[in-house]
């Protein structure tokens, strides 16, 4: 089975039609001294209200695409996803300009299974998908349905405003520090897991909930970084 269709951007008419949507083409180019493994190709997507950022990565270090479109524009998003998954790229860009903005949004990934024989993509949509001409459309349509599910989860947490007090209580636990970073991280592990499982709250329309979740995420990151510094 093919991993990628052997197309270049400048030879792909369909890709050229959406090329202007790539927000990175004016950003600094990142030079790497290796050729990324095609099996590490990945799509990261981020929800921002009724918009979706779609990021195309050759691996963890090499980003070649970033666009922002309407979630419901399945036609354009299908073409973007097909382009990212199936076309060849050899120019990579800095994404530092958008780092802070993206860092505050709900993010999920679509990536290739490690089995190099089968071309199967793992998704957060509750299904694995194959690698064919319909893959882009399936992802684009799933982005819409998935956002609807996320919105319903947020509404359930927002109902009555009671969950704010729960989040505040968790924050108090995560703020606790001693002289033992390893012990702090282990003690906070249950609260960290709860917060990681509820990252969909970054899509909440309640600014208090979203703001409080960002505080929780910051504390989780600090605890982890202190832990890693101690064990290195």
* Residues 91-149 pLDDT 10s: 999 999 999 999 999 999 999 876 655 668 899 998 888 888 889 999 999 999 999 99
- pLDDT tens for 28-38 read 999 999 999 88
Task: Tell me the backbone φ, ψ of residue 219, rounded to 5 degrees.
Answer: -70, -40
Please tell me the distance from the alpha carbon of residue 184 to that of residue 176, in angstroms, as a whole number: 8
Query: In 3D, which of 80, 58, 60, 85 has the Cα closest to residue 69?
Result: 80
Q: How far are the Cα atoms of 171, 221, 224 from residue 175, in angstroms, in the given order?
A: 6, 11, 13
pTM over 0.85: yes
pLDDT in tens, 159-196: 988 899 999 999 999 999 999 999 999 999 999 999 99
Is the pLDDT confidence value at 4 over 60? no
pLDDT at 12 over 70: no
Neighbour order of strands in the sheet with 29-30: 29-30, 92-93, 62-70, 51-59, 42-48, 106-112, 121-122, 128-129
Are 67 and 58 spatial neighbours (Cβ–Cβ below 8 Å)? no
């Amino acid at each position: 089975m093919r991993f990628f269709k052997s197309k270049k951007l400048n030879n792909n008419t369909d890709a050229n039609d959406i090329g202007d949507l790539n927000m990175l083409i004016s950003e600094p180019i990142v030079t790497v001294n290796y050729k990324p493994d095609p099996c590490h190709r990945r799509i990261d997507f981020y929800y921002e209200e009724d918009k979706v950022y779609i990021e195309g990565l050759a691996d963890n270090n090499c980003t070649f695409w970033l666009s922002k479109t309407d979630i419901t524009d399945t036609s354009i998003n299908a073409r973007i996803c097909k382009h990212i998954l199936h076309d060849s790229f050899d120019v990579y860009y800095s994404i530092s300009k958008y780092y802070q903005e993206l860092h505050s949004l709900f993010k999920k990934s679509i990536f290739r299974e490690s089995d190099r024989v089968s071309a199967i993509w793992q998704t957060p949509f509750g299904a694995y998908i194959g690698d064919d001409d319909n893959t882009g459309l399936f992802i684009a349509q799933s982005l819409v349905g998935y956002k609807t599910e996320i919105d319903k989860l947020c509404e359930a947490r927002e109902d009555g405003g009671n969950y704010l007090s729960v989040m505040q209580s968790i924050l108090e636990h995560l703020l606790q520090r001693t002289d033992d970073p390893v012990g702090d991280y282990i003690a906070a592990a249950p609260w960290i897991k709860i917060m990681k499982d509820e990252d969909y709250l970054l899509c909440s329309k309640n600014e208090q909930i979203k703001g409080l979740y960002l505080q929780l995420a910051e504390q989780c990151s600090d605890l982890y970084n202190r832990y890693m510094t101690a064990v290195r």
